[in-house]
Amino acid sequence: MLRTGVFIDPECLLHDPGNGHPESPQRMQTLLQLLRRQDVRHLPHTMFQGRLATQLEVQRVHTPAYVHRVQQTEGLRVRLDNDTMTSARSYEAALRAAGGAVAATEAVTAGQVDNAIVLCRPPGHHAEPDRSMGFCIFNNVAIAARHAREVLGVRRIAIVDFDVHHGNGTQTAFLHDPSVLYISTHMHPHFPGTGAATEMGEGMGRGRTLNIPLGRNHGDAEYDAIYGSLVSRVLEGFRPELILVSAGFDILSSDPMGGMTVTYDGVLRIVGHLVNAAELLSKHRLVMVLEGGYTSEGLEQGVLASLEALTQTIRVSDPGPLVRLPLGDAAKYLDIYREFFTI
């Protein structure tokens, strides 16, 4: 079994967008209660509390003007965009979410644990360098990746995003960066409207973005084939030294913000394939960071399945050849990706 770290900070409860908002403090309450359950406590893991991200860490991704704007919301209720509202201590909670991702990345890179999962909120992958978007304030995964690259000396980083929504902010942050590979599966067309298969990175970063847009109602079989074959092959071609994962449990069938039909077993296999890739390519170094997931049932299933895969309590086998998967529009671009990766 692998040594897995669970990073959670109750201070993330401080962010409260208001009554009826899907990204509510109840999400964190659900996670705190889940970690007390016997079926979770018996899994081999070590608990960690995160920390506040520093201004420098956040500003490796976000502009000083945007960070200052968020800081100015302290003590206030401010609408940052149509979907994202702050409360009195949202700035602190957002720093805690980003800091947890950085702390987990430090622990995994230092060998303190083999892999980790960061249970935080607000989520991050929609946050652009200069603005909030889609419930997201700071881009937690992108901040962790920049820290790994610029402070920890990690040369090649893969970010894999299985949230039902495309991580436009993460894609933007690394659009020109050849040292960071961004892979996303997401429902398309769907919020935020980005993530077409033709979006492949720009300049020196061309070929370092792989978008796999999917229609509605895809489930375990499709995700198993995608992650066990295509994603695994692209990761092998890139050979990352660290894998970061934007874990969106809004792909589960119970989620009102989704549209997919993934089950507990589907999440287990998605994460299991990524754990297998990390074992082969990055000395087990993998950090999952929570993104979406807006029902208690979906969060519980997603986190428990992820922990079973991360600890290798349940091991996942190869799903078979790539041809199992009807890739749709993404299939048209495989010949282009063969210029960059062994597929």
Question: For residues 120 and 206, is the Cβ–Cβ distance under 8 A?
Answer: no
Q: Residue 213: which residues within 8 A CB-CB, separation 6 or more? A: 166, 186, 187, 188, 195, 196, 197, 328, 329, 330
Q: CA 290 to CA 311: how far, in whole Å?
A: 17
Question: For residues 288 and 116, is the Cβ–Cβ distance under 8 A?
Answer: yes
Question: For residues 209 and 182, is the Cβ–Cβ distance under 8 A?
Answer: yes
Decide: helix, strand or coil at residue 185. Answer: strand
Q: Residue 321, Cβ neighbours under 10 Å: how many?
A: 10
Q: Which of 62, 125, 126, 190 is catalytic?
A: 126
Q: Residue 321: which residues within 8 A CB-CB, separation 6 or more? A: 229
Q: What long-range pairs does 147-155 form, CB within 8 A, spacing at least 24?
A: 147/57, 147/60, 147/102, 147/105, 147/106, 148/105, 148/109, 148/242, 148/244, 149/179, 149/180, 150/60, 152/105, 152/106, 152/109, 154/109, 154/241, 154/242, 155/179, 155/241
In whole angstroms, how large is the CA radius of gyration of the chain?
A: 18
Helix locations, the chain, DSSP H: 26-34, 38-41, 55-59, 64-71, 90-109, 140-150, 168-173, 220-225, 231-238, 264-281, 296-310, 334-337
Q: Residue 95: which residues within 8 A CB-CB, separation 6 or more? A: 52, 53, 58, 138
Reply yes or no on whether 45 is catalytic. Answer: no
User: Tokens for 33?
Assistant: 């209660």
Residue with tokens 């009554």: 19
| Residues designated as active site | 126
